[in-house]
Structure 1
Amino acid sequence: MNINPKFARWFKDRDQQVLTAHFNKNRAALIKTIRELEAERDRARDYQSRLETLLESMKELQEKLEAEGGA
């Protein structure tokens, strides 16, 4: 089958445009997901820091109560 070279070039260009658009759409979605995951990681780090601070405060309170009870 003989295809008109002009049509073949047009088809190749359109195919490339579709592939590029698809790649860019997936790229944008991936970038959005990465940003969301980074934000979630930052929130998790903040919660971890708060929990560590709370745990330290509870240990200090426990030591204080034990010292008062033992005196």
Structure 2
Amino acid sequence: MEGVGGQLHGVEAFGRLPLAFIQMMVGATAEHSRHVAPELWRRYLTLLLDGLRPARNSPTPLAHRALDPHEFDQTMS
């Protein structure tokens, strides 16, 4: 799997099925947070992609701040 500068584990390392689950997770985040924080999905996609990297010097800066407790409650309702 190419992406993030070609620095992700290949499909052979984990198979194709997990890619569908990653899409579902990011999609659910986008759907539930769209009214509170429309770009929040980018934060979690970055975390997932960082987890798939075989190595890195430091974590990738996150594209969105964490939700505050009120925003979290709004997102989950």
Is the TM-score greater than 0.5? no
In terms of fraction of residues, the more helix-rich structure is 1
TM-score by length of 2: 0.28
Larger Rg: 1
Question: Scaled by the length of structure 1, what TM-score is found?
Answer: 0.30
Structure number with greater CO (CA < 8 Å, separation at least 6) is 2
